[in-house]
Amino acid sequence: MEIGNKYQLTSDSLNVTLSEKRKATKGKNKGKTYWKSIFFYSSTKEALIGLVDMKVKETHLKDLRTITKRQDELYTLIQTITKSSQPCVRAVE
């Protein structure tokens, strides 16, 4: 399941994997996009909470307004995804 255009969740019998879309910068695949696994969770809910936590930490905890704004954006995105069977195309940056 894609989350925006930058992340995706996949699963196997043991884990839910959060992956990030990246672009190869060298080698024979230079310029091609690929998915890199960045975190492993035991449930989808934990994976989504982990994504929110990661994005909040990227704010460098500048101020409460920045943090809560980012949390609200991400939780709204999660609610949209979990209420719809369609992939969400909003960007998570």
pLDDT in tens, 7-37: 999 999 999 999 999 999 999 999 999 999 9
Q: Which residues of 18-54 are buried (b: 16+ CB within 10 A; e: fewer)?
A: bbbeeeeeeeeeeeeeeeeeebebeeeeebbebbbee
In terms of Cα–Cα distance, which of 35, 76, 38, 33 is closest to 54?
38
pLDDT at residue number 84: 58
Dig out the tokens for 16 from the structure. Answer: 């839910």
Q: Report pLDDT digits (tens) over 51-92.
A: 888 887 887 777 888 888 878 887 787 777 667 544 444 444
What is the pLDDT, as a whole number, of residue 74? 78
pTM for the predicted model, two decimal places: 0.69
Tokens of 86: 């369609």
What sign does the CA torsion over 67, 68, 71, 77 have?
A: negative
